[in-house]
Structure 1
Amino acid sequence: MSQVVDYGTALALILREAAPFAVERRTLAEAGGLVLAEAVVADADLPPFDNSAMDGFALRAEGKAVAAGAEFEVAGAQVAGDEAARADGGAWEIMTGARMPEGLDSVVPVERVEVLARDGKGRPARIRLSADVQPGDNVRLRGQDVERGTTVLQPGRPVDSAAVMVLASLGVDSVAVRRRPRVAVLNTGRELVDDPRRPLASGEIRNSNGPFVSARVDAAGAELVLRETVTDEPADFLAALARALAAGADVVLSTGAVSMGRHDFVPDALRGIGADIRFHKVAIRPGRPLLFARLAGGQLYFGLPGNPASAAVGLRFFAEAALRALTGLAPERPLRMPLAAPWRKRAELRFHLKGRVELADGALRARVLHGQESFKVQPLLVANAWIVVPAESMALEAGDMVDVYAPGHAEGLKIEEVMQ
């Protein structure tokens, strides 16, 4: 496919090729950051038994308040980890998390009790309430957090720290997940210099795409298996590509050599090894020369343009969509918020703009930043979002609603308040 495709067509072609990985079982220690492939159903109650939420004294309220001033003999004690006990009357000293003695249903905190007498070991023997106690006060009931049989996690949910806490609390030792995608990054261009200590010769530039794309791969939840910088010689490129595939890459990202210049050799080199180029050029800005192919071994290939902002857009809105799909995540949905100031465009293309989401007067708004040229990297220091303007919208006014995306699909927006 050689003609320019629109964004929707390009994304559909990518998602058609990015079938989710096979399901694997991993221990909880190994599953952190991976995506669940199956629902997790609780096979136990949480808490597993009625227990005290306070250090204090357990009482029997019997469905009605126990008035301040009531006195009780202390008949026993229960600490966290004690087995079930039965109370035949009186009050029991109890610690936070301790199992409620059978027959008692409420807890009065220790600070709301006056100790009237102590036994020979100094433990409370008789108490008086200094405040009313309502039935059920300060008791955590069995299953109050999670009931047995409840679906606690759905497929497509990343195993983050909150999920780990719930799973560990339920005694889950392994979960069904899909592994991380393995990604290789190839930067093309004889002008690129990787060593920051080496002085630049005439015509040379620092390789910024390599470190940037590699960092973004990690932030997207993928595993970087290889990064190389290669010359503009097809043979060198194909040798590096072979090393990337030998390293186990599921996805290969290259930068540069996909436009229409005499040295833009990537499309022909890929065809020469049997790759199926699904599209080359998308009706977007920046990043129009983007190329997507399936290699002969089934790996996905994204040829990103060499300009930094173009490479960033290709990675963020196309390659990251594939990474989500491979791990079983649902397609990403943008936020919607008003534009902070008018904005115009001259070309009927889908624009991906470096933007900043601001909080002003208690409301969020999205501001298009200056410096949208594809070669400029400094605006990325200020940007905390991408603002997307569809092809058909040529002129936007302040207050018009726009789609807003975080810098990466696995990240949230980091918003600072703007003082008026």
Structure 2
Amino acid sequence: MSQDTLTYDEALHIVLAASAKLGTEPCSLGACLGRVLAEPLISNVDLPPFDNSAMDGFALSGGAIVPAGTELSIEGEQAAGDGVAHAGIGAWEIMTGARMPDGLDRVIPVEQTERFPPSRVRLLADVAPGQNVRTAGSDVARGETLLDAGIALQAQHLMLLAALGIANVSVAQRPRMAVICTGRELVDDPAQALAPGQIRNSNGPFLAARLPLAGAEVVHVETVGDDADAFESAMRRALNAGAKIVVTSGAVSMGRYDFVPQALERLGAKTLFHKVAIRPGKPMLFARLPDDVLLFGLPGNPIAVAVGLRFFVEPALRVMLGLPREAPRRAALIKPYSKKPRLRFHLKSRLHIDAQGRLGVEVLDGQESYRIRPLSDANAWAVVSADIDALPAGALVDIYGVGHLEFPLPYGSAA
């Protein structure tokens, strides 16, 4: 290993130290999907807000048990949306979700009754207190903590907030990010025919799609050729768009056209490291530009980009979003695995649950950094540390989800 090549932990320490927590901002319910909650959310109301019927039937009251065979007069009717009603003796016809009339404490389903003229009902089953009644606060009690800080809000959370009448929440500010892909061989337009030597740009769409899922706001995306002046112009456009983090792909190795390190010098950047003992993605570069703008220079191969994003950019985003450092899960290898020593490997993997309910991880074929298909088949990353060169089947390895805000979901039994 070169003296200038850092271990993963050394490089990550530099990234985390350069990252700073951002502030918070209010966000409306309609715009907060995927946003990270900045502070615990406490309910100031009960849910349900009143006792209501769990089904269509008849509401009534009585002692410990109102026995089958009891006949009652029908005093009134209560439908969903009706207001306060005061009941005396007898029964009230009631619809699902309707507020319970004051004085009544149980509901018998309509199919367990027999109605007869003029306005009477006979019970065909015993009815106990509280039966088929949804009590106020039985879902959420006033003063209860609903959601903890750090949760990425999903549709089910929005359902809860809407039910409680919460219109705005405090969320972490999203880091503003730019994506710049380099390479004269890249073609962005899928309708454009490829000339000999050209390839389609997959890194740009991948980064533009994954960064919002990781909690960021993408403010600029651009592709430039292997030209330092064009790259510097793209960088200035990204900064003018308000980017505080720039992710680039390509032109960071040691080849003739790898101009990014020199271009960054002209932009006044300070390179904090260049080369990490990982695979894929060893030539990765990390720099700080004026005004504390951070730049992650990722190699051009697609899986090196995916690894750089998942294991360097996303940990920085966690700091900025006010989240604790991510802890991996552990799972047993389904098959033996061996690798070259002295490099930390990040492996496209798939979690499985076998017929006995045991969790295992399969390291997929096709780990080369140019091979995208296995990444599309993966639902997790398996990480094997630099000091390990071989592991038997059943050995435990660290497992990470496809994104830091997304948990890996296992498939069925491995074939």
What TM-score bracket applies, with the shorter chain setting the length?
over 0.9
User: How far does residue 204 in structure 1 lie from its aligned partner after superposition?
Assistant: 3.3
TM-superposed CA distance for 1:60, in Å, is: 1.0
Q: 2:337 aligns with which of 336, 339, 343?
A: 343
Equivalent residues in 2 for 1:146-295 (5 A)? 146-295=140-289
Amino-acid identity (%):
53
Q: Is the 8 A contact 2:341 2:387 kept in 1?
A: no
The equivalent residue for 2:42 is: 41
Q: CA deviation at 1:275?
A: 1.6
Which 10-residue stretch deviates more, 197-206 or 139-148? Answer: 197-206
Distance 2:197 2:93 in 1: 80
Q: Is the 8 A contact 1:36 1:176 kept in 2?
A: yes
Deviation at 1:61, TM superposition (A): 3.1
Q: TM-score, normalised by structure 2?
A: 0.93
In structure 2, do the counterparts of structure 1 residues 196 and 127 end up closer, same or farther at CA, with 3 Å as the change threshold?
Answer: closer
Count of aligned pairs: 412
CA displacement at 1:102 relative to structure 2: 1.6
Alignment deviations for residues 150-209 of structure 1 (CA, whole Å, 9 cap, x no partner): 111111112211211111121112111123333211111223233444444444333222
> Residue type of the partner of 1:58?
A
Give the partner amino acid of 2:384: V
TM-superposed CA distance for 1:358, in Å, is: 2.1
Match of 2:23 in 1: 22
Contact 2:335 2:394 in 1 (8 A): yes
Cα 1:196–1:162 change in 2 (3 A) is closer
Letter in 2 for 1:105: D
Kept in 1: contact 2:36–2:215 (CA 8 A): no
Is 319-328 or 241-250 further displaced after alignment? 319-328
Secondary structure in 1 aligned to 2:30?
Answer: helix
What is the CA–CA distance in structure 2 between the aligned matches of 1:202 and 1:70, rounded to whole Å? 88
Residue 291 of structure 1: how far off its partner (Å) = 1.3
State the AA in 1 paired with 2:411: E
Deviation at 1:6, TM superposition (A): 1.9
Question: Is the aligned partner of 1:127 residue 2:128?
Answer: no
Shift in Å, 1:113: 0.7
Shift of 1:263: 2.5
The SS at the match of 2:290 is coil
- Code of the residue aligned with 1:137 in structure 2: it is Q
Q: Which residue of 2 aligns with 1:12?
A: 13
Q: Which amino acid aligns with 1:407?
A: V
Cα deviation, 1:209-268, whole Å, max 9, x if unaligned, reads 222222222433433322222122221111110011111222211011111223322122
Of 391, 401, 406 in structure 1, the residue corresponding to residue 396 of structure 2 is: 401
Q: Which residue of 1 aligns with 2:116?
A: 116
Runs of 5+ consecutive residues of structure 1 not aligned to the other structure: 119-124
TM (normalized to structure 1)? 0.92
* 2:299 paired with 1:305: yes
| Counterpart residue identity of residue 416, structure 1 | Y
Rounded Cα–Cα distance in structure 2 between residues aligned with 1:218 and 1:408: 11
Partner of 1:364: 359
Q: How many Å separate the matches in 2 of 1:196 and 1:139?
A: 58
> Cα deviations across residues 19-67 of structure 1 (Å, max 9, x unaligned)?
23221112212222211112211111111111111111111133x1221
SS in 1 for 2:10: helix
* Cα-to-partner distance string for 1:75-96 (whole Å, 9 max, x where unaligned): 2222222222222211111111
Give the Cα–Cα distance (whole angstroms) in 1 for the partners of residues 97 and 197 of structure 2.
Answer: 69
Question: How far did 1:323 drift?
Answer: 2.5
CA deviation string 1:118-152 (max 9, x = no partner) = 4xxxxxx2111111111110111111111111111
Tell me if the contact between 1:157 and 1:329 (Cα under 8 Å) persists in the aligned partners. Answer: no
CA shift, 1:396, in A, is 0.7
Q: Secondary structure at the match of 1:336?
A: strand
Q: Distance in 2 between matches of 1:343 and 1:80?
A: 61
Separation in 2 of the partners of 1:5 and 1:173?
47
Partner in structure 1 of residue 51 of structure 2: 50
SS at structure 2 position matched to 1:8: helix
User: Which residue is equivalent to 2:107?
Assistant: 107
Instruction: Output the CA distance in 1 between the equivalents of 2:346 and 2:162.
Output: 41
> Is the contact made by 2:298 and 2:304 (CA closer than 8 Å) also made in structure 1?
yes
| CA separation of 1:61 and 1:18: change in aligned 2, threshold 3 A | farther
How far apart are 1:272 and its partner, in Å? 2.4
Gaps of 5+ in 2: none
CA offsets 1:300-321 (integer angstroms, 9 cap, x no match): 2110011121111101111122
Q: Answer whether contact 2:152 2:405 (CA < 8 A) is retained.
A: no
